[in-house]
């Protein structure tokens, strides 16, 4: 049995071509590297846009490395005991984000040892995955928002997502209606409130915005408000029928089950890094399928797209404009996926196909 011989990590700031806010002009990547006892190497990463990157790096370098070195290099075997070891620092958040760096590197090593891509190693079910165009655009003036919507149309996406949650609901109504006019009646239009509303505000807003034929409302309330989302789901089923999507800010399998079991979410959106890597993501996906909830991963199309190819259910992969690591020049090799006409396909590679370069070009 191979064990972990060494684990190291480094923090990289990746500049964004299109800032997500005035104070979000880059994202933090904690690039990880493992060496197994049989000499096989693997590369992974943790990720957090703005907050906590240095804390994640410290957790990997101190607590996780001390625990993991000498233990099994089987990612699926290591994950649960590692999570239990870190649980004193929290059952999710910094702990699971940091665990993802190790989990991804171990899966990368396993696929490289087999000279296969991660999808091939796990069992490819499909060779193409639908994508939707997405943007962090609540701060965009209307003309810039509509220009972005037109770019998604021109690029061949059949589904797009935009931000809502303006101080005045009338502005949201006008902006959503304008985007609907640009993309036409046949494309799916999703909206994301990023936790900006109270229960009553969400009820009023979704019922009003439903006139623009909304495919889902994402994070209408505080992300961990199980009771509020449960009640909102009950209200919406009695009125607009718009389903609730959430999950980018849920951090473990148990919280996802809480929301699906309560009828608080009809669509779950795990971020593969935030939940702790491939190992827990696959378990969350299987749980969602059994619960009858749709699953559409949050961000990271180079990683989400590869795993979407192995899931039992069909998913939509989120592609934020000018935010993929490949398009930002953050990868040492060509991107492991390609997106064209709203569909994602694999580019030949081994492992995850994601080794990060820093601005000086060092690995």
Quick: pLDDT tens for 253-291: 999 999 999 999 999 999 999 999 999 999 999 999 999
Name the catalytic one among 33, 163, 229, 296.
Answer: 163
Whether the per-residue pLDDT at 233 is higher than 90: the answer is yes
Tokens of 130: 């639908």
Query: Mapping DSSP to helix (H, G, I), strand (E, B) and coil, where does residue 207 land?
Result: helix
Name the catalytic one among 161, 229, 296, 298.
Answer: 298
Query: From start to end of 203-261, where are the E strands?
Result: 214-218, 244-246
Computed over every residue of the chain, the mean pLDDT equals 95
How many Å apart are CA 247 and CA 272, to the nearest integer?
A: 11
- Is 62 one of the annotated active-site residues of the chain? no
Q: Is 57 in contact with 13 (CB distance < 8 Å)?
A: no
How many Å apart are CA 131 and CA 303, to the nearest integer?
A: 13
Write the DSSP assignment of 155-211 as a string of letters: TT-SEEEEE---SSHHHHHHHHHHHHHHH-SSSEEEEE-TT---HHHHHHHHHHHGG
Tokens of 219: 């994070």
Prediction pTM value:
0.95
Which domains are seen in the chain, by residue range? Answer: 4-115 (3.30.390.10), 121-346 (3.20.20.120)
How many Å apart are CA 109 and CA 3, to the nearest integer?
A: 12
- Is 163 one of the annotated active-site residues of the chain? yes
Question: Where does the pLDDT of residue 362 fall: very low under 50, low under 70, confident under 90, or very high at 90 and above?
Answer: very low
């Amino acid at each position: 049995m191979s064990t972990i011989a060494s684990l190291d990590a480094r923090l990289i700031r990746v500049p964004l071509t299109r800032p997500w806010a005035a104070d979000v002009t880059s994202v933090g990547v904690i690039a990880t590297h493992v060496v197994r006892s049989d000499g096989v190497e693997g590369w992974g990463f943790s990720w957090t846009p703005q907050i906590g990157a240095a804390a994640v790096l410290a957790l990997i370098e101190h607590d996780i490395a001390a625990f993991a070195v000498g233990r099994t290099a089987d990612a699926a075997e290591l994950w649960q005991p590692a999570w239990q070891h870190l649980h004193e620092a929290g059952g999710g958040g910094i702990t699971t984000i940091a665990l993802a760096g190790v989990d991804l590197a171990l899966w990368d090593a396993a696929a490289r040892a087999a000279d296969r891509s991660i999808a091939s190693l796990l069992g490819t079910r499909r060779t193409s995955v639908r994508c939707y165009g997405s943007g962090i655009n609540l701060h965009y003036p209307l003309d810039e928002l509509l220009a972005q919507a037109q770019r998604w149309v021109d690029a061949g996406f059949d589904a797009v997502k935009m931000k809502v949650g303006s101080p005045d609901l009338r502005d949201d109504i006008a902006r959503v209606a304008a985007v609907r006019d640009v993309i036409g009646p046949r494309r799916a239009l999703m909206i994301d409130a990023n936790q900006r509303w109270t229960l009553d505000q969400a009820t009023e807003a979704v019922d009003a915005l439903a006139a623009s034929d909304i495919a889902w409302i994402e994070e209408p309330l505080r992300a961990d408000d199980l009771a509020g989302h449960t009640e909102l789901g009950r209200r919406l089923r009695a009125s607009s029928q718009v389903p609730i999507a959430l999950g980018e800010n849920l951090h473990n399998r148990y919280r996802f089950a809480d929301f699906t079991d309560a009828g608080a979410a009809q669509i779950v959106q795990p971020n593969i890094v935030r939940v702790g890597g491939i190992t827990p993501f696959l378990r969350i996906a299987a749980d969602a399928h059994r619960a009858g909830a749709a699953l559409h991963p949050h961000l990271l199309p180079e990683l989400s797209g590869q795993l979407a190819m192995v899931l039992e259910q069909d998913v939509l992969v989120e592609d934020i404009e000018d935010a993929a690591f490949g398009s930002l020049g953050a990868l040492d090799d060509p991107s492991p996926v390609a997106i064209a006409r709203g569909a994602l396909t694999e580019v030949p590679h081994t492992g995850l196909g994601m080794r990060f370069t820093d601005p000086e070009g060092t690995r």
